[in-house]
A and B are shown apart, each in its own frame.
Chain A
């Protein structure tokens, strides 16, 4: 008998408590995931409409130039990384940050060649501790973030591109594939090169009247579009976060169940052994008296 019955009993109890907590966590995340998915959905019309208008402006007017549409030689890069504020979400933050570290190490020789914006406490702590050039941060976002929560960092990131502080802006976040799969992706946000390139530009069929002028409308719309893309990436990352947490907690619950099962078996064996021993002692004692 490796452990006494009482010790085993105590361990079973503590695992049961843990299991209850992870189970509750899993259910909370499932509910939040549903809400986050709805938010992603409700943000779509805005993004697609603004894209449609920009595409038609770009296609309908010849020779409209805007710094956000033309690529420059890349001397410096801005990264915007979206992580979560809380942990307990499996590899959610770890995978993303590893991707970032790897990308940065592959592409740049020194820390002067890039700057990082970060959303989420986990990413901020990680990058600050390792002395990465973090120049903008947002933490403590709620589970259903509002556009105004990230408006400032988004317009800072877009504005610094416009001021030529860096020559491209790259978004790094966890793409939501389905509730149990998330994947870190890298998305080049600025310059907006793929806008014109989309096949058969649907917008070209409507010729708008612009007020005041096409250039000014474009100058107004492009930064806003870029900010919207950042916001939708954030919403998607939130959905991924809840998904990741849900599956992490789900497997924690399963592991707890396994452990409890094993321990219960051990407990019963120990109990049986104790009874057998007691019987043997009684029988032994009785036969000694004969």
Chain B
């Protein structure tokens, strides 16, 4: 089966760098699946769990604030944060989720705080999804 190079990079380090068979992620306009030899492509990503297929096995990577770039059979995901399943602190994500939920249910909250809480909730949920999948 043909493969392509996938790199997941954050400002701090290279999180992931492997030959893979398929990448599935949630882009700005909806979910996309990338197979080898895809046409050059750029899109921002939502806060998402990127699904990576390698050697018939699927694994997840939690990504936030990122975008995806595909060119010459290479996929690069640039993100503000990216975590592999075993790097995720499930308890911390659980606590973050709870905190965000509390803030969301508090109705007097201002617009900005509301948005911030929403984003925090999304991040926490993605982390939990990925973290429980190890």
Query: Is the pair A146, B71 in contact by a Cβ cutoff of 8 Å?
Result: no
Within 8 A of B (CB), among A8-56: 39, 42-43, 45-47, 49-50, 53
Query: Is the pair B40, A208 in contact by a Cβ cutoff of 8 Å?
Result: yes
CB < 8 Å neighbour of A209 from B12, B28, B39, B81: B39
Contacts of A45 in B (CB 8 A): 7, 9, 14
In the bound complex, CA of A91 to CA of B40 (Å)? 49
Query: Is the pair B41, A208 in contact by a Cβ cutoff of 8 Å?
Result: yes
Known contacts A49-B76, A147-B80; A210 and B11 CB within 8 A of each other? no
Interface residues contributed by chain A, number (CB under 8 Å)? 29
Could you say which interface size class chain B belongs to? Answer: 20 to 34
Contacts of A228 in B (CB 8 A): 11
Query: Is the pair B71, A208 in contact by a Cβ cutoff of 8 Å?
Result: yes
Query: Is the pair B40, A211 in contact by a Cβ cutoff of 8 Å?
Result: no
Known contacts A43-B11, A212-B28; A207 and B40 CB within 8 A of each other? yes
Known contacts A148-B81, A220-B67; A208 and B42 CB within 8 A of each other? yes
Contacts of A173 in B (CB 8 A): none
Within the complex, what minimum Cβ distance (angstroms) separates A217 from chain B?
5
Query: Is the pair B76, A211 in contact by a Cβ cutoff of 8 Å?
Result: no
Query: Is the pair A49, B12 in contact by a Cβ cutoff of 8 Å?
Result: no
Q: Of all chain B residues, which has the CB nearest A214? A: B42
In the bound complex, CA of A82 to CA of B9 (Å)? 25
CB < 8 Å neighbour of B80 from A49, A151, A212: A151
A 136-148 to B, binary, CB cutoff 8 A, 1 in contact else 0: 0000000000111
Q: Of all chain B residues, which has the CB nearest A228? A: B11
Known contacts A211-B43, A217-B43, A217-B67; A42 and B27 CB within 8 A of each other? no
Query: Is the pair A43, B43 in contact by a Cβ cutoff of 8 Å?
Result: no
Q: Cβ of B72 < 8 Å from any Cβ of A?
A: yes
Contacts of A207 in B (CB 8 A): 40
Q: Cβ of A231 < 8 Å from any Cβ of B?
A: yes
Within the complex, what minimum Cβ distance (angstroms) separates B61 from chain A?
16
CB < 8 Å neighbour of B40 from A46, A209, A220: A209
Contacts of A43 in B (CB 8 A): 11-13
Q: Cβ of B57 < 8 Å from any Cβ of A?
A: no
In the bound complex, CA of A220 to CA of B42 (Å)? 11
In the bound complex, CA of A211 to CA of B30 (Å)? 10
CB < 8 Å neighbour of A50 from B41, B65, B78: B78
Contacts of B44 in A (CB 8 A): 216-217, 220
Within 8 A of A (CB), among B55-100: 65, 67, 69, 71-72, 76, 78, 80-81
Q: Of all chain A residues, which has the CB nearest B12? A: A147
Q: Cβ of B111 < 8 Å from any Cβ of A?
A: no
Q: Cβ of B110 < 8 Å from any Cβ of A?
A: no
Within the complex, what minimum Cβ distance (angstroms) separates B70 from chain A?
8
In the bound complex, CA of A228 to CA of B12 (Å)? 10
Q: List 23 A-B contacts (CB under 8 A).
A: A42-B13, A46-B10, A46-B11, A49-B76, A53-B69, A147-B12, A147-B81, A148-B80, A151-B80, A206-B72, A209-B39, A210-B41, A211-B29, A211-B32, A211-B41, A212-B43, A216-B44, A217-B43, A217-B44, A220-B67, A224-B80, A228-B11, A232-B11
**Apart from the given pairs A43-B12, A50-B78, A217-B43, 16 other A-B contacts in the complex at a CB distance below 8 Å:** A42-B12, A43-B11, A46-B10, A46-B78, A47-B11, A49-B76, A147-B11, A208-B41, A208-B71, A210-B42, A211-B27, A211-B42, A212-B43, A216-B28, A216-B44, A217-B67
